[in-house]
Structure 1
Amino acid sequence: MRSLTLALLCSFSLAAEAQTEIPLYDVIPNSIPTTNREKSVTDHVGKVRISKVSEPGLTVYLPPKEKATGTGVIIVPGGGYSILAIKHEGHDVAKALNEMGIAAFVLKYRLPDDTTMIDRSIGPVQDAQRAIQIVRERAKEYGVKTDKVGILGFSAGGHLASTAGTHFDTHYIDVPRKTNLRPDFMVLIYPVISFTDSLMHKGSRTNLIGEHPSAEKIKTFSNDQRVTAKTPPTFLVHAKNDKTVLIQNSRQFYAACLQHKVPAELYEFEEGGHGFGMINPGSDVKWMELLHKWLRQNKFVK
């Protein structure tokens, strides 16, 4: 009997840890039919990077029902629009959010590629909008309140998250049910924000809008320039010594939020560089704890 009980407990534990990945679309928009060349590589420290993504998906992580707050967050890994740092900026974050009672949805978005999409500049934002659409339309199934759906992005994923949060009036996908595509809040971690020459992360800009983009394209995707009074409340984190994505990206977005009276908070690490994920080895401060406090203060979680 004891062994049977242990076996049942183990099976329940495994079931609780099992996650579901769903495709974003039945028919992928803005797509050129081609062979799926997606590739996943794990490095010597266990970081997982996915490249050549052309078939986007959403991995669903739901907290235990007794802990659920009704809040949902779509997680957007970074990688310069060339790869996805899917584990330490994706799945690991989802598990941590579950501990807070937050439903999490890891977005595996299409990476810009002229061989797989008609207009590579809008492929990623289509996928971000579709993720918001799915979570809102299936909110009851996921135990999420439709007015508590946020988006969290790292680095270039922060650019994509901020695009979702500043371009929501432009529908890059079909919205037959008139679903609200505006995230209720944004969390931007060492985000790429500006595509201007002085602040851009060159790889992200080139991969998304090309080597020699027009001034109009640069302005369209410089998201600090698209902040309005309707921009969602925003929590930002950046290290002052980030040499990959300059901290002025976060500072300019934060300043734009304040200018338009959008609730916003920016936490600046003294050290840490770029790409540290949830744990900055250069500081004892845990930004996830600061985020949890901010979410409570702004009534996005209990």
Structure 2
Amino acid sequence: MRPILLFVMTMLICVGVDAQNEVLKVWPNGAPNDNGMREPEEKYDGVRVKNVSEAEMYVFLPEKEINTGAAVLICPGGGYVIEAMDHEGYDMARFFQEKGIAGIVLKYRLPYGHDEVPSSDARRAMRIVRANAEKWGINPEKVGIAGSSAGGHLASTAGTVFDEGNAQSNDAVEKMSCRPDFMLLLYPVITMNEEFTHMGSRGNLIGSEHKLKLVRKYSNELNVNAQTPPTFLILADDDKAVPPRNSIEFYSALKRNNVPAEMHIFQKGGHGFGMRQEGLPANNWPNLFVDWLKAREVIE
């Protein structure tokens, strides 16, 4: 094979593997709050990260020919102490990209005792997606949020406590709404109620003390109202890390407020399956989610 042809083929393969279009800093001019982390960010097992002190967004856009105009901001899980950027982040974004949906992975700042930091990153990231909607070929009314485990808690926090933007702001991004148009929650931590929360996530977000105001603030089953976006929930009955009651309580709250929702509880899958293909029925969730988006006419 001629060297030039071999080079071209190699480049095409590389493009297919790494379909990321853009990387953005969430707070290019500095965040309004600080998580206190001064140690360098660390990666291990390839793409898991810890010591995150700067939020970034990794943008995976679909080809124009298949673009549906929808987008999903993705919050990887990891107990608010690490972030599983692979099977709960990049892999999910690539799947959406192939389905004509923009997948945008959020590497949010971890809290380290500063509870407001992750959710401020998520809300800002939602605004950034809408501010870039025209550039990225996105319909600003079809921007959802997804999250797995503790990332599901972050996503459900952004999906229950939001605003429509500040029209008086000098910052064009801050004028945008941070309300998701839909939510995808995978085996999410929902509550801070010690009766059925994931205590590791709770401790890393709000500390080990029983601070009633923070427990109430971040128990998202109590924050649902009629404006909460339609939600798609996925979990496994044999999840031993995050009790299924988290999702069940959230689903029940959605129904009490007449919010459209769909929930799938698979017999097997455990916790943290994300996009891993292990031959289990739970791994069909991405296609079920796409079908739900079609049923809701978010995509065709």
Provide the TM-score with structure 2 as the length reference: 0.91
- Provide the C-alpha distance between the structure 2 equivalents of 1:158 and 1:282, rounded to a whole number of angstroms: 23
Residue 168 of structure 1 contacts residue 181 of structure 1 at CA under 8 Å; is this kept in 2?
A: yes
Superposition deviation, residue 4 in structure 1: 4.3
Task: Provide the residue aligned with 1:89 in structure 2.
Answer: 88
- Provide the C-alpha distance between the structure 2 equivalents of 1:18 and 1:68, rounded to a whole number of angstroms: 14
Superposition deviation, residue 281 in structure 1: 3.5
- Provide the C-alpha distance between the structure 2 equivalents of 1:101 and 1:60, rounded to a whole number of angstroms: 13
Superposition deviation, residue 63 in structure 1: 1.1
Q: 2:44 aligns with which of 33, 41, 46?
A: 41
Residue 35 of structure 2 contacts residue 110 of structure 2 at CA under 8 Å; is this kept in 1?
A: no
Q: 1:122 to 1:34 in 2, by over 3 A?
A: closer
Q: 1:271 aligns with which of 268, 271, 276?
A: 268
Task: Provide the residue aligned with 2:74 in structure 1.
Answer: 75
Superposition deviation, residue 136 in structure 1: 0.2
Superposition deviation, residue 270 in structure 1: 0.7
Q: 1:54-203, aligned counterparts within 5 Å?
A: 54-114=53-113, 120-169=114-163, 176-177=171-172, 178-203=175-200
Superposition deviation, residue 37 in structure 1: 1.5
Q: Deviations over 1:25-48 (max 9, x none)?
A: 121220267645210001xxx6x3
Task: Provide the residue aligned with 2:297 in structure 1.
Answer: 299
Task: Give the partner amino acid of 1:64.
Answer: E
Residue 266 of structure 2 contacts residue 281 of structure 2 at CA under 8 Å; is this kept in 1?
A: no
Q: Deviations over 1:166-185 (max 9, x none)?
A: 0103989x964421110000
Superposition deviation, residue 301 in structure 1: 1.1
- Provide the C-alpha distance between the structure 2 equivalents of 1:7 and 1:292, rounded to a whole number of angstroms: 36
Can you give the 5+ residue segments of structure 2 that lack an aligned partner in the other structure? Answer: none
Task: Provide the residue aligned with 1:24 in structure 2.
Answer: 26
Residue 143 of structure 2 contacts residue 181 of structure 2 at CA under 8 Å; is this kept in 1?
A: yes
Q: What's the % identity of the aligned pairs?
A: 45
Residue 36 of structure 1 contacts residue 55 of structure 1 at CA under 8 Å; is this kept in 2?
A: no
Task: Provide the residue aligned with 1:117 in structure 2.
Answer: none
Can you give the 5+ residue segments of structure 1 that lack an aligned partner in the other structure? Answer: 115-119
Provide the TM-score with structure 1 as the length reference: 0.90
Q: 1:280 to 1:9 in 2, by over 3 A?
A: closer
Q: 1:166 to 1:102 in 2, by over 3 A?
A: same
Residue 272 of structure 1 contacts residue 280 of structure 1 at CA under 8 Å; is this kept in 2?
A: no
- Provide the C-alpha distance between the structure 2 equivalents of 1:215 and 1:171, rounded to a whole number of angstroms: 29
Task: Give the partner amino acid of 2:89.
Answer: G
Residue 158 of structure 1 contacts residue 188 of structure 1 at CA under 8 Å; is this kept in 2?
A: yes
Superposition deviation, residue 216 in structure 1: 1.6
Q: Deviations over 1:210-269 (max 9, x none)?
A: 111321211110001000000000000111111100000000100111110100000001
Residue 41 of structure 2 contacts residue 53 of structure 2 at CA under 8 Å; is this kept in 1?
A: yes
Query: SS of the residue aligned with 2:106?
Result: strand
Q: 1:72 to 1:32 in 2, by over 3 A?
A: closer
- Provide the C-alpha distance between the structure 1 equivalents of 2:35 and 2:263, rounded to a whole number of angstroms: 40
Task: Give the partner amino acid of 1:39.
Answer: E
Residue 227 of structure 1 contacts residue 256 of structure 1 at CA under 8 Å; is this kept in 2?
A: yes
Residue 35 of structure 2 contacts residue 112 of structure 2 at CA under 8 Å; is this kept in 1?
A: no
Q: How many residues align?
A: 292
Q: 1:290 aligns with which of 268, 288, 291?
A: 288
- Provide the C-alpha distance between the structure 2 equivalents of 1:255 and 1:34, rounded to a whole number of angstroms: 37
Query: SS of the residue aligned with 1:268?
Result: strand
Q: Deviations over 1:100-156 (max 9, x none)?
A: 111011000001125xxxxx1010001101110110001111111000000010000
Q: 1:265 to 1:217 in 2, by over 3 A?
A: same
